[in-house]
């Protein structure tokens, strides 16, 4: 391998963030225990530098590490989603960790490592890299989920997440082994060539199925969603907000890249499976969310349902001319979901108390009177998660359904719209409780949290009213990639 | 020379034993060992294919899988120890605070 196709220059933002994470682990040793928020601020500056670095060069199209990594509009836009969720979650963590008495320095480097894993995942053009990136983002998350240790629910959710995550990644590795056996290759381009010549063999299809198990677990698609409510409920809320956006977006990035480039010619074989994931996730996620009394479990089932809507956008990817359209719909949906969801989790953090009380939907009663700004923002987030105008969630759902319609999946869109109606019931219930019931629970709103809520609410609203510029950026960066 | 299919059959059997172990056993350590068995059955498949094709990609992958498995062990055992400290048990049926 020569230096030129290693392309270290193209991957500099990634290398910088990895080096920053390693450096932070060392620096943290010299920071006294009562001033760990300094580590947080350093992590934040690492995220921010990388964010502006990546956003200054969105349109590049390069390859690195001998064609194993792609640096293009698709990966760069998703990098912004990962880094943005990292920035917002770190801001929330600054106060959350102190308030819950779990302020330990290693939290922030773990988050940086996890984001590095997500970034590599969206660049991967080789199954070996997909596997490594998946583990690199997951292993820090296992630790972060159990970060509030000695609190039984955090430990328990970490064990569940870890055992099921390792189980599903074992399926994925075996799937990769079978794909390697069927095509003699692990790179997407070489696999694509081999598949185009030899077509589908049972060995290859078994491999694809097993690999999809690992990825569908990460994005919590039904029927691999069992862990989601428990983990989202037990994990520290900052971590939940972070992983519900980052890990999901990374999983979908890998699915899009693998299925749109390596297995493009097998669309007739994998499209029905993706449709099945879409239907099951949207229906079961939304129906199960109705009966939840805990807002954390409700948001967990909502995240399962949202995974289903992203699958709706992936379905048209098998239709040659539509794959760019599908990829940009996926990116736009993930960005909208990410902004809205982190905003909603920040409100959850504000209402949540250190003793674990305050996570019931009934605790939101009277929020509008005590803290009108917070309630207005939460209203906006709930509307956006439902997919009602004038929010970004509406534009994203519109975009996704338009892609599915273009591919001729009218019935799938009908299922999607019906499930959106079902979801309106439980999202709007939160709004009703906030504005119409009276209650006297306390909220904790430090400045960083107000900032996060403000930024996400403003972005949800502005990008809902004026989605044009962002859509144009997304479409022009993805054009011609798949 | 032993045919590649024999190796693949063995790896499929090991993988199935691993899956059954995860589903049937209730001790967190044993479940974890079953997962390791699944990973190693994939390693066997990789090596068998790599020998069949005469390429190195498969052998390379094995090193990565072993490294990742080691990292997972470090995190997993730490979690299990933490659970054992607070519950004095690592039976996964006893870990039932959160209703799923």
Judged against a pLDDT cut of 90, whether residue A441 lies above it is answered with no
Q: Do B38 and A170 touch (CB under 8 A)?
A: yes
pLDDT top residue among A307 and A322? A307
As a whole number, mean pLDDT of residues B10-31 equals 95
What is the pLDDT, as a whole number, of residue B95?
76
CATH number at residue B33: 1.10.287.3510
Q: How far is CA A407 from CA A262, A298, A318, A416, in A?
A: 20, 32, 9, 15
Where b means 16+ CB within 10 Å and e means fewer, A55-70 reads eeebeeeebbbeebbb
Cα A301 from Cα A341, distance rounded (Å): 12
* Adjacent-strand bridge partners of A294: A360
pLDDT at position A405 is 93
Which pLDDT belongs to residue A426? 94
A184 conformational bin, left if phi > 0, alpha if psi -120 to 50, beta if neither: left
Q: What is the pLDDT of residue A167?
A: 94
For tokens 């004026």, the residue is A466
Give me the pLDDT at residue A305, please.
96
Give the bridge partners for A71, in sequence order. A62
Q: Is the pLDDT of residue A385 over 70?
A: yes
At B93, is the pLDDT very low, low, confident or very high (cuts 50, 70, 90)?
Answer: confident
Q: What is residue B27's three-state secondary structure?
A: strand
Question: Who among B45, B86, B92 is closest to A181 (CB)?
Answer: B45
Closest CA of chain A from B84, distance in Å:
10
Please report the pLDDT score of residue B87 as a whole number: 84
Angle ∠(A102,A382,A385) on CA atoms, nearest 5? 95
Residues of A with CB under 8 A from a CB of B: 128, 131-132, 135, 139, 142-143, 146, 149-150, 152-153, 155-160, 162-163, 166-167, 170-171, 173-174, 176-178, 180-181, 184-186, 226-227, 229-230, 233-234
Residue B47 lies in a domain: yes
The reply to whether B96 falls in a domain is: no
pLDDT in tens, A444-456: 888 999 999 999 9
- Look at residue A4 and tell me whether its pLDDT is greater than 70: no
pLDDT in tens, A242-252: 999 999 999 99
How far from B65 is each of A65, A210, A225, A262, B31, CA to CA, in Å? 19, 16, 25, 22, 18
Contacts of B75 in chain A (CB under 8 A): 139, 142-143, 162
Could you report how far apart the first and last alpha carbons of chain A are, in Å?
26
ipTM score here?
A: 0.96
Give the separation between CA A337 and CA A297, rounded to whole angstroms. Answer: 17
Of all residues in chain A, the percent with pLDDT exceeding 90 is 75
Spatial separation of the C-alpha atoms in residues A327 and A313, rounded to whole Å? 8
Containing structural domain, residue B59 = 4-88
pLDDT at residue B99, rounded to an integer: 65
pLDDT given at position B27: 92
Of A17 and A354, more confident: A17
pLDDT of residue A2 exceeding 80, the answer is no
B67 C-beta neighbours (distance < 10 Å), count = 12
Q: Do B82 and A149 touch (CB under 8 A)?
A: yes
pLDDT for A99-139, tens place per residue?
Answer: 888 888 899 999 999 999 999 999 999 999 999 999 999 99
Selected residue with higher pLDDT from B43 and A150:
B43
Q: What is the DSSP letter of B91?
A: B
At A12-36, the pLDDT tens digits run 999 999 999 999 999 999 998 888 8
Considering all CA atoms of chain A, what is the largest pairwise distance in Å, rounded to the nearest integer? 68
Which one, of A264, A113, A106, A245, lies nearest residue A194 by Cα? A264
Does the residue B30 lie in any domain? yes
Three-state SS across chain A?
CCHHHHCCCCCHHHHHHHHHHHHHHHHHCCCCHHHCHHHHHHHHHHHHHHHHHHHCCCCCCEEECCCCEEECHHHHHHHHHHHHHHHHHHHHHHHHHHHCCCCCCCHHHHHHHHHHHHHHHHHECEHHHHHHHHHHHHHHHHHHHCCCCCCHHHHHHHHHHHHHHHHHHHHHHHHHHHHHHHHCCCEHHHHHHHHHHHCCCHHHHHHHHHHHHHHHHHCCCCCCCCHHHHHHHHCCHHHHHHHHHHHHHHHHHHHHHHHHHHCHHHHHHHHHHHHHHHHHHHHHHHHHHHCCCEHHHHHHHHHHHHHHHHHHHHHHHHCHHHHHHHHHHHHHHHHHHHHHHHHHHHHHHHHCCCCCCCCEHHHHCCHHHHCHHHHHHHHHHHHHHHCCCCCHHHHHHHHHHHHHHHCCCHHHHHHHHHHHHHHHHHHHHHHHHHHHCCCCCCCCCCHHHHHHHHHHHHHHHHHHHCCHHHHHHHHHHHCCCC
Tokens of A221: 């698609």
Are the Cβ atoms of A131 and B65 closer than 8 angstroms? yes
Q: What is the spatial distance between Cα A96 and Cα A98, in angstroms, rounded to a whole number? A: 6
| pLDDT for position A170 | 95
pLDDT at residue number B15: 96
Q: Which of A313, A474, A441 is nearest to A370 (CA)?
A: A441
What is the average per-residue pLDDT within B5-32? 94
Query: Measured between alpha carbons, how far is residue A438 from residues A293, A353, A363, A434, B83 in Å?
Result: 17, 19, 10, 8, 40
Q: Is A229–B15 a contact, with Cβ atoms under 8 angstroms apart?
A: no
Count structural domains, chain B: 1
Over the range A172-184, which residues count as b (16 or more CB within 10 Å of their CB) and which as e? bbbbbbbbbbbbb
- pLDDT class of A480 with cuts at 50, 70, 90: confident
Each residue of A38-66: pLDDT tens digit? 999 999 999 999 999 999 988 888 888 88
Residues B29-65 as b/e (b if ≥16 CB within 10 A, e otherwise) read: eebbebbbbbbbbbbbbbbbbbebeeeebbeebbebb
Mean model confidence pLDDT for chain A: 92
B94 in a domain, yes or no? Answer: no
Closest-CA distance, A285 to chain B, in angstroms, reads 13
CA of A98 to nearest chain B CA: how many angstroms apart?
21
Nearest to B97 among A152, A162, A171 (CB): A152
Q: Please enumerate in sequence order all residues whose Cβ is within 8 A of that of B69, keeping only pairs 6 or more positions apart, or say none.
A: B36, B39, B40
Taking the CA of residue B46 and the nearest CA in chain A, the distance in Å comes to 5
Contacts of A113 in chain B (CB under 8 A): none
pTM of the entire predicted model: 0.95
Task: Indicate if the pLDDT at residue A87 is higher than 60.
Answer: yes
Tokens of A366: 């009277």
- Residue B97: inside a domain, yes or no? no
Boundaries of every domain in chain A:
266-482
Q: How confident is the model at residue A354 (pLDDT cuts 50, 70, 90)?
A: low
């Amino acid at each position: 391998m020569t230096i030129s196709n290693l392309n270290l220059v193209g991957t500099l933002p990634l290398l910088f963030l990895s080096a920053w994470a390693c450096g932070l682990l060392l620096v943290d040793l010299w920071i006294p225990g009562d001033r760990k928020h300094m580590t947080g601020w350093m992590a934040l500056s690492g995220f921010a530098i990388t964010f502006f670095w990546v956003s200054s060069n969105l349109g590049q199209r390069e390859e690195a590490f001998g064609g194993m990594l792609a640096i293009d509009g698709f990966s760069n836009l998703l990098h912004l989603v990962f880094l943005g969720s990292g920035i917002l979650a770190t801001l929330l963590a600054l106060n959350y960790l102190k308030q819950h008495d779990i302020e330990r320095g290693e939290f922030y480097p773990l988050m940086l490592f996890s984001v590095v894993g997500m970034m590599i995942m969206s660049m991967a053009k080789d199954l070996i890299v997909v596997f490594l990136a998946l583990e690199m983002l997951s292993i820090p998350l296992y630790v972060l989920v159990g970060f509030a240790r000695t609190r039984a629910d955090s430990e328990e959710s970490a064990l569940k997440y870890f055992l099921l995550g390792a189980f599903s990644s074992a399926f994925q590795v075996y799937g990769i082994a079978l794909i390697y056996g069927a095509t003699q290759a692990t790179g997407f381009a070489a696999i694509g060539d081999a598949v185009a010549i030899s077509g589908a063999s049972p060995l290859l299809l078994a491999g694809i199925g097993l690999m999809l198990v690992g990825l569908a677990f990460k994005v919590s698609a039904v029927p691999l969603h069992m862990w989601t409510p428990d983990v989202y409920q037990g994990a520290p809320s900052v971590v939940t907000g972070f992983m519900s956006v980052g890990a999901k977006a990374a999983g979908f990035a890998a699915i899009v890249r693998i299925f749109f480039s390596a297995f493009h010619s097998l669309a007739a074989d994998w499209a029905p499976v993706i449709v099945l994931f879409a239907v099951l996730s949207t229906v079961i996620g939304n129906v199960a969310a109705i009966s939840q009394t805990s807002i954390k479990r409700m948001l967990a089932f909502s995240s399962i349902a949202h995974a289903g809507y992203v699958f709706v956008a992936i379905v048209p990817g098998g239709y040659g001319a539509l794959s760019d359209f599908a990829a940009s719909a996926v990116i736009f949906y993930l960005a909208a979901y990410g902004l809205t969801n982190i905003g909603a989790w920040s409100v959850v953090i504000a209402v949540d108390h250190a003793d674990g009380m305050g996570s019931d939907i009934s605790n939101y009663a009277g929020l509008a009177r005590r803290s009108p700004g917070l309630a207005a923002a939460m209203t906006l987030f709930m509307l956006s998660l439902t997919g009602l105008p004038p929010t970004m969630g509406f534009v994203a759902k519109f975009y996704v359904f338009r892609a599915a319609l273009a591919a001729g999946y009218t019935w799938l869109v009908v299922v999607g719209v019906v499930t959106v109606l079902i979801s309106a019931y439980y999202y709007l219930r939160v709004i009703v409780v906030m504005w119409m019931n009276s209650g006297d629970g306390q909220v904790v709103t430090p400045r960083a949290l107000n900032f996060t809520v403000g930024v996400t609410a403003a972005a949800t609203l502005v990008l809902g009213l004026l989605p044009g510029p962002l859509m144009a950026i997304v479409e022009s960066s993805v054009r011609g990639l798949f | 020379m032993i045919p590649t299919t024999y190796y693949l059959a063995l790896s499929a059997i090991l993988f199935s034993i691993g899956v059954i172990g995860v589903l049937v056993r209730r001790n967190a350590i044993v479940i974890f060992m079953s997962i390791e068995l699944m990973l190693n059955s994939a390693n066997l498949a990789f090596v068998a294919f790599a020998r069949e094709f005469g390429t190195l990609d498969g052998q390379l992958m094995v090193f990565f899988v072993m490294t990742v498995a080691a990292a997972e062990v470090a995190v997993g055992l730490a979690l299990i120890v933490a659970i054992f400290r607070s519950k004095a048990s690592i039976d996964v049926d006893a870990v039932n605070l959160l209703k799923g």
